[in-house]
Amino acid sequence: MKLAFFKTTSATVFLVAVAAASAQAADFTNLYRAGHADLAVGYGVTEGLHLFYELSSTAVVNGSPVGGGASASPSDLSVIVPESVLTIGHTSLPAPFAGNALYVLAQTSAGAGTRPFLGFGAEEIDPGVFVGDALTFTLTDFFSSTGGQFVLFSNGSQANPSINTADGLSASDFVDLYAGGHDHFNLGFTAAGIYDLTFSAAGVLVGGGSATASGVFRFVVGDAPVTPTVPEPGSLMMAGLAMTAGGLVAARRRRAHRLS
């Protein structure tokens, strides 16, 4: 995979149009297997909120480290959750996670050389844009090819996970993010399979009104085939990113990514 970067120019505007036209052809074919990355949210006056992957220099995509870092559309990557992370769910977790098989992408960086170390980030958003510098990252839709369930929780708070698909989705299935920051959580999946998680970011603008954006993030868990036939995602690619014959094309981010 080759990641090429462009500054935001009229050429980028053209790429945005290509991305919009190609959204329904999203295939999640680039495979993120190891190293650090964030499910990230950015904001611009023109494009508003947008969701993307922020890949650090340690992120391994299609078998190779990204190197200098890169950004990618949610629809262009699959997060590979390897069989090696299969464990037993902490006894304090709610059913059906407690005491049962659970594939866990851990909150800490231990083992990140062989599995994704995936966080949530708002490092591209300047302070003072949103009231209290606060945003929410809510799971608004969920698909599992095998009927598995998903849980997101912090170490020490297993009894009260932030997101739990087993009890149904609601407005309470969210995590808080703050401008300029990022955080890590444990991401758990009950069974091998394909999971499409639709996250929506939202915040109240200091100047009035609000901003929202959503994106579908795919996780391939365990021994599941990488490219099954699943329902077509409804979200558009992020602004400034398109699939081309040469690979991914991404708008340059304003800040260097900080590793956790």
Question: 191-246: per-residue pLDDT in tens?
Answer: 999 999 999 999 999 999 999 999 999 999 997 676 544 444 333 233 333 333 23
Q: Give the single-character DSSP code of 2.
A: -
Give the tokens for residue 10.
């009229």
Using pLDDT thresholds of 50, 70 and 90, give the confidence band for residue 22.
very low
In this prediction the pTM is: 0.80
Angle, CA of 178, 181 and 184, to the nearest 5°: 100
Length of the chain: 260
Residue 26, pLDDT score: 56
**Nearest-angstrom CA–CA distance, 63 and 86:** 21
Whole-angstrom distance, CA of residue 121 vs CA of residue 253:
13
Q: Rounded to a whole number, what is the distance in angstroms from the first to the last CA of the chain?
A: 25
Instruction: For the chain, give every domain's residue range.
Output: 3-251
Backbone angles phi, psi at 151, to 5 degrees: -140, 140
Convert the pLDDT of each residue in 173-189 to its tens digit.
Answer: 999 999 999 999 999 99
- How many Cα atoms are found within 13 Å in the side-chain-facing hemisphere of 257? 29
